[in-house]
Amino acid sequence: MTSFNHFDSSFAVLFDLDGTIVDSRQGIVSTLHHVIRTLGHEPVLTRDLTWVVGPPLAELMAEVLAPYGEKRVDEAVGIYRERYQAVGRHQTPIFPGMVDLLQKLAASPVRLFTATSKPAFLAKDILQGHDIAGLFDCICGANADDSGGEKPELIEKIMREQNLQANRTIMIGDRRFDIAGAHANHLRALGVLWGYGGEAELTQAGADYLCESPEELTAAVYDQLSATSQHAGAAH
């Protein structure tokens, strides 16, 4: 059994939420279909919308609506927020094995944070719904209006406000945005393959390590935290 008690409170782990801790695909895609219907169109159910999961939605809504010739982006975002808050956020099961890892980290001196492009209040609601919000030192994410969700700026803000050290902090996520945001702040970045980015995207983004399962991630987090303390900023 991996124990993180070897590390002190100067170490920290940042987690993406969608596609890393929770499987939010169903909640997000069903909410988008609701938006499209509300605007008077019939959604093409075979159209892949998985690519929307991860980045700030407000920036991508125009692309989601384009195939329908729809330009009411601001209205669509408002409809999305209301529906997701009421229904979509409840359609977010946790990936098997992730609670065990989070509990192990929370039981150690290592500090634990989310770094999600989802508004922080929604992330907190989702994690509270699974009774794991209390495992985190802080649930960090975008502002209520979806601003501030770009990963480089968000991670920089977390690092600054929480007084974290780049050579003792790692980022875990499933999309290239997570990897790029981490590297922009000189953090090691672990990519998870059960999310929505995939091996090719994460490899191209330069992930320091790829994990196929939460069990493998547990060992990788230990190894990467050890590497940060021994070789600050060096590749593993």
Beta bridge partners of 183: none
Kindly list the distances between the CA atom of residue 136 and the CA atoms of 15, 106, 120, 139, 224, in Å, as whole numbers in the listed order: 10, 7, 13, 6, 19
Please identify which of the residues 16, 23, 146, 208 carries the catalytic annotation: 16
Q: How far is residue 35's CA from residue 39's CA, in Å, rounded to a whole number? A: 6
Q: What residue type is assigned to position 93 of the chain?
A: P
Question: How does residue 1 score in pLDDT terms, banded at 50, 70 and 90?
Answer: low
Q: What are the percentages of helix, strand and coil residues in the chain, rounded to 5?
A: 50, 15, 35
Q: Is the sign of the CA dihedral 222, 228, 233, 235 positive or negative?
A: negative
Residue pLDDT, tens place only, 178-236? 999 999 999 999 999 999 999 999 999 999 999 999 999 999 999 999 987 665 444 33
Active site residue 131: no
Q: Which of 125, 179, 181 is nearest to 148 (CA)?
A: 181
